[in-house]
Chains A and B, each alone.
Chain A
Amino acid sequence: MDGREQGPLLAADAVSKSFGGAVALRAVSLALFAGEAHGLLGENGAGKSTLARILAGVIHPDRGRLLLDGKPVTFRSPAEAQSARVAVIYQEPTLFPDLSIAENVLIGRAPRRSLGRIDHRAARASVAALFAELGVALDPARLVRGLSIAGQQLVEIAKALSNEARVLIMDEPTAALTNEETAHLFEVVRRLRRRSVAVLFITHRIEEAFAECQRLTVLRDGAPVASGPIEGFTPAQAVRLMVGRALDTFYPPRRGERGAPALSVRNLSASGAYAAIDLDVHAGEIVALAGLVGAGRSEVLRGIFGIDPRDGSVIVFGREVPPADPRAAMRAGLALVPEDRRQQGLVLELSVIRNATLAILSRLRRGPFASPARERATTAEWSARLKLKARRLSDPVATLSGGNQQKVVLSKWLATAPKMLLIDEPTRGIDVGAKAELHHLLAALASQGMAVLMVSSDLPEVLGMADRILVMREGRIVGELSAAEASEEAVMAFATGHEAMLQRAREPV
């Protein structure tokens, strides 16, 4: 069915929005048609999420209007958007950890029995049916607390589907998913399109937009720079439109000069997570830990840094670092930039300055007191070096875009002047422009002699950045590849343990 003949299901008409003095959206128009997926591309801070929140009734446009089935409509609250069957999957899961999965999926819409009571059994059954349809193996009766990010995202998707959404807005839904889960999600999206649902797909991943969408809109600095059927774009063009310039070299060249041994890990083990991990990282070297989600890569970093208990030895520049003592690890010159920046890396309510100086407060003291002037100076220096985009350094970190938040986390740890950087998913959920900046930064740090051990699920990033790649599978290191011999196939062969694939990868093409 061609939805275009019927006019858009939901449209934004010249919508503008400012926060304080900052313009988030300038006269953005966007039309969502039945049975179509519409890709919304843009760097972080381009206004994509603001537009999604306006369509969802969370915030209200200053100017412009929304049209539902061609008629002007005002969503005064998320509830009003929901009753118009506009469903949103937000970037960060918005779930209730203390309620069951079934209650989370059906919040506000639970089936009732006599006297208006919630029919818990029917609720669990309908969520179980929904999960069966999605191919998800989760028990609807369990609590959400303790679910992985991917699990939470699946609950969010089920929530949107259970509402029989006519319009589904997805704000970077794949950022936390494995490739398998992403493929699954797209299968669901295609099924929804066949049911004439209009989909708005917000993403950084250009290849995903081109694979799944029929229409494309690109935002830059809050304004639409291009919009139209996907056939009118090429991926390279889309990148140029997003960043306003061509990204000549995505990955900086690596010289691969090895210095002195920086980190030496022997027989590192933690029950249930990983075992017999031996690895070395030299000064000036970037080593990537690749593997599937769940292979134990993040746990190895946490073990080395001493967040979780471990067995085995960790030697940093010739000195043994005791287990389960992150302060000792920091003194030895280690720094860990964690995977989940919102939960582990930042205090969102505090300002950029407070966050950036959190790890070095004791060094910035003047007498017994913290020195605001020195804190500000240090932060200003790092934010200049990392090209941080923030209105004021005193703004809460929560107001920054994902890429800029990651820069604050990085500056916090770089300010401790580490000699050995452990970094987990350095560019997850970050737009192409900021990603390239972070890559150049990591390369520059390495060429200045820093040793880097990086966990990444982004294969092009692993191949583009690393001098050496260690592949983990089920808690063990199963393969090592040099930059020269590495290919996506070779890494995946080790990561999945498929012998046949391994053979193919080793044969010359």
Chain B
Amino acid sequence: MSATLEMRRGGFLTVVARAREVGLFAVLAALLLATTMVNPRFLGAQGIKDILEDVTVTALLCIGETIVLLMRQVDLSVSSVLGITAYATGTIFAAHPGAPIALVMLVGAAVGAALGALNAALVAFGGVPSLVATLGTLYVFRGAEFAWVKGGQINATSLPKDFLALATSGIGPVPYVALIVLALIALAGYGLRHYPGGREYYAVGSNEEAARLAGIDVPRRLTLGFLSCGAFAGFAGVLFTARFGTVDATAGTGMELHVIAACVVGGVAITGGVGSVEGAAIGALLLAVISNALVSLRVPVFWEQTIEGALLLVAISLDLVISRRTLAFMRSGRAHG
């Protein structure tokens, strides 16, 4: 009977979905190998450190963005949230050089969550499509920052040494900030997989009406998602300041699309319900490796954007091809009607 066929072929579909992460790893490995063959120093301690420093902030933003994308929403305002908390971090340390670093991190996340609350209110209760709502707050937040900062700048000299050390030193070539982000990725990934609240993000993005009928509080889920995304972006602002030391009102400008690209390359579906935080982080890593490899291979830097865009198109086309093939495969044995 057809049910047995459905069983076997459905298993195949599940395997294909998982193969995505494996494929990404393969591309990553091939890229690392090829670049190292041309330039052996690419994977030296400094090379690894450069890549990890580059990827840390993006990967952190990817956690929150993935949660929002899973719900079939998008948050474009992450870069502006990052800009505000990055500058706020510098301001706090300038005024209170002895402020506990952990407390400042919490303040960054809290400010981010508060800004995320505005997105949440617009999307979950105002019914504004998130693309429009967060495009609006992207500009509003950035504009507010310009009004606040007025051309000011934070310099590394006004920041505590211990704080800067988070980005510059670590265990072997791995900076502390990268370890923090790695831990957060693992936690968030685990939570999304193993907690009912995490599964609800997938459920809302997969079929919002069904989620409502299943008793899931959709506005609450949307609110929590945008709050988390804001909190991660706010925390990313703190790490941004630790990494660069010098911060002005333009910090992070344009990162939002880079983050979404990383998520999509990492297998998070723009149509909701599919993907993982780990996948998105691998996507971010892949983009960072490419940008570093281009430098290492002395390719003119302006090729980077072209390659990032092309990779995005390849990732999306690959998804389409795979899902079409899979459907065709399933249909071939299970004619119905």
Contact = CB atoms under 8 A, between A and B. Distances in A.
Interface in A286-316: 293-299
A170 to B, nearest CB: 14
A142 interface: yes
Given A117-B195, A146-B327, A97 B216 contact: no
B11 A78 contact: no
Interface size class of B (residues with CB under 8 A): 35 or more
Contact of A139 (B11, B206, B327): B11
A98 B274 contact: yes
B13 A145 contact: yes
Instruction: Give chain A's interface secondary structure class.
Output: loop
B214 interface: yes
Contact of A94 (B196, B209, B274, B332): B209
A284 interface: no
Contacts of B195: 116-118
A273 interface: yes
A293 B215 contact: no
A271 interface: yes
B14 A271 contact: no
Contacts of B334: 148, 294
Nearest to A145: B13
A90 interface: yes
Interface string B267-280: 00000111000000
B333 A272 contact: yes
Contact of B210 (A95, A116, A143, A425): A95
A58 interface: yes
Contacts of B217: 77, 79
Interface in B37-67: none
Nearest to B4: A137
B96 interface: no
A85 to B, nearest CB: 12
A233 interface: no
Nearest to B12: A142
Size category, A interface: 35 or more
Interface in A16-43: none
B213 A137 contact: no
B210 A147 contact: no
A143 B14 contact: yes
A431 interface: no
B124 to A, nearest CB: 16
Interface stretch (A102-110, A217-225, A372-380, A389-397): A102-110
Contacts of B7: 137-139, 142
B153 to A, nearest CB: 45
Interface string B25-46: 0000000000000000000000
A96 B6 contact: no
Contacts of B212: 58, 78
A107 B214 contact: yes
Nearest to B194: A117
A426 interface: no
A146 B203 contact: no
Contacts of A88: 213
A272 B332 CA distance: 5
A339 B336 CA distance: 11
A228 interface: no
A124 to B, nearest CB: 12
Interface in A302-345: 339
30 contacts: A77-B215, A78-B213, A79-B217, A88-B213, A94-B210, A95-B210, A96-B203, A96-B211, A99-B203, A99-B273, A107-B214, A108-B216, A110-B196, A116-B195, A117-B195, A138-B3, A138-B10, A142-B6, A142-B10, A142-B14, A143-B14, A148-B336, A272-B335, A273-B331, A293-B336, A293-B337, A294-B334, A294-B337, A296-B335, A299-B335
Interface of B: 1-4, 6-7, 9-11, 13-14, 17, 194-196, 199, 202-203, 205-207, 209-217, 272-274, 326-327, 330-337
Given A98-B206, A293-B336, A455-B337, 11 more contacts: A79-B217, A94-B207, A98-B272, A98-B274, A99-B206, A100-B14, A143-B14, A146-B6, A146-B10, A274-B335, A298-B337
